[in-house]
Amino acid sequence: MKLTIIKAINDKKLFKPLFKDLKTWASWICLLKVLFGLPLTKKELTLYQGSTGRKKAPQKAFRELWAIIGRRGGKSFIMSLAAVFLALFYSFREYLAPGERGVIQIIAADRSQARVIFKYISAILHSNAIFERYIQNETKEAIELTTGVDIEVMTCSFRTIRGRTVVCAICDEIAFWRVEVANPDREILAAIRPAMATIPESMLLVISSPYARSGVLYEAHRDCFGKEDAEILVWQADSRTMNPTLSATLIDRETQKDPSAARAEWQAQFREDIEDFLSVKVLESLVVPGRRELLPSDECYYYAFCDPSGGRQDAFTLCIGHYEEEKSKFVIDLLRAWEPSFDPEQVVKEATETLKRYGLNEVMGDHYAGAWVEQAFDRHDIYYETCRVVKSDLYLTFEAYANMRKVELLDDKKLVSELKALERRRGKSGKDSVDHPPRGRDDRANAVAGLIHLLAKEEGDGEFSVKVIETPAAPQGHWITIWRE
């Protein structure tokens, strides 16, 4: 009789020693039964119905699981165990070409996060002599097994996945994948599924706590949760359902501090107070294909906005643009981004040279590092004015003009990616705020939004005047726009 994952978990020579109290893992045992197409008890059927929204007991195994589980629910360990079971006790050789190896990929928002599951897998393989003998070679991010399967930590990039034969992919915390491209979750899944197509028993295991009502995790829940005929298994359960050893007092205390966050973190419910900032359709309509930069013109009056950085974590960005009266549009002419790590003084020097090419001797930016930025620009005869408008309001101004299609953006993939990732949050006071998601960045987006704020002042009813004043930074005077309110 074929060894099932449940028999392996209950076997003292295999997985059972890994569990201190197997009874506390009852909900996960039920999920694994469903995933591998094993019969359920009456109690398990009730749990299955509550966690999937389905009524009928499953009749076959699933090749794709989306586990939407609260924090500390145990999902990383169980998915690691499932991966080891597939790697050791399933035979994929008949589907592989001579010399070809199957791959179990571990993908997360970054390599550090992916290594968490990799360490679980390594620990399971080293937990007894039976598993250990299958290890052919092991490094910090890869394990080669004698079964013809490799277990690897992968970069969160659709490019690194192509060309491999994937027998199992574990996508960890997919709700928080916001890197490299505009829709990394969608792009990576589009690369994974074809890589698994020739392996009939391959499995895609997606695990995450929920976040905003957007992205592939939310779409999978929307399209497949509660659908009896859906081929994708969506399992949604709160932390204590999956891990009853968690302190109810702790969760209650966290819920009192921030109910919206706790609803997602512990109750595994998508947040209702967060939504996408701009629609993809609107944003893509603003990009001028192929336009990377516009050269200075004597016929344009330019503005500049800067998002400074010390060079450690964030990029130092500079955006220059103008208002084009004939088309009634705000045009982005130039966007510069100096990625970490860099010499701040050298970057300021390069930024001031760029400003002067566009006839500018002033720039506006946020209040970064106190007076350092002002003094750094002043040394190059550029007046730096601190923006008094908070970043969130800059974005809301940008949104208004973006929705009116009054903005022309450069064809910059990183800029578009940052803008697509921005999130709108509804505050308790009723005022919306906009910011990048956790672990995200918005250096380019912030500079563009700041520039649109400046250009918006010029539009008015088409009339504006300027005056020249003298400052220590610009003894010959610099331009100040006076707009009609």
- Which structure tokens are listed for 38? 């094993």
Same domain for 315 and 264? no
Task: Out of 74-83, 254-263, 329-338, pick the least confident.
Answer: 254-263
Q: Residue 478 above 90 pLDDT? A: no
Same domain for 300 and 235? no
Same domain for 100 and 165? yes
Look up residue 123 and give its DSSP letter: H
Same domain for 329 and 380? yes
Same domain for 127 and 216? yes
Which CATH number belongs to the domain containing residue 79 in this structure? 3.40.50.300
Grouping H, G, I as helix, E, B as strand and the rest as coil, residue 305 is strand
Q: Residue 480 above 50 pLDDT? A: no
Same domain for 191 and 323? no
Mean pLDDT value across the chain: 84
The stretch 157-176 carries a mean pLDDT of 80
Domain with 317 in it: 280-483
- Which structure tokens are listed for 349? 């020097």
Same domain for 291 and 329? yes
Q: Residue 180 above 90 pLDDT? A: no
CA distance linking residue 87 with residue 85, whole number of Å: 5
Among 234, 253, 272, which residue terminates a domain?
Answer: 272
pLDDT exceeding 70 applies to what percent of the chain?
87
- Greater pLDDT, 182 or 431: 431
Same domain for 25 and 152? yes
Q: Residue 477 above 80 pLDDT? A: no
Same domain for 267 and 289? no
For residue 10, what pLDDT band results from cuts at 50, 70 and 90? very high
pTM above 0.75, yes or no: no
Which CATH number belongs to the domain containing residue 419 in this structure? 3.30.420.240
| Alpha-carbon torsion (400, 404, 410, 411), positive or negative | positive
Nearest Cα residue to 215 out of 250, 255, 171, 248: 171
CA distance linking residue 293 with residue 49, whole number of Å: 56
Among 237, 272, 307, which residue terminates a domain?
Answer: 272
State the amino acid at position 307 in one-letter form. D
pLDDT digits (tens, 9 = 90+) for 14-53: 999 999 899 999 999 999 999 999 999 999 999 999 999 9
Same domain for 306 and 429? yes
Domain count of the chain?
2
Question: Which pLDDT score, from 0 to 100, does residue 271 have?
Answer: 79
Same domain for 318 and 265? no
CA distance linking residue 280 with residue 77, whole number of Å: 36
Same domain for 338 and 421? yes
Question: Which pLDDT score, from 0 to 100, does residue 164 have?
Answer: 79
For residue 82, what pLDDT band results from cuts at 50, 70 and 90? very high
Among 238, 272, 306, which residue terminates a domain?
Answer: 272
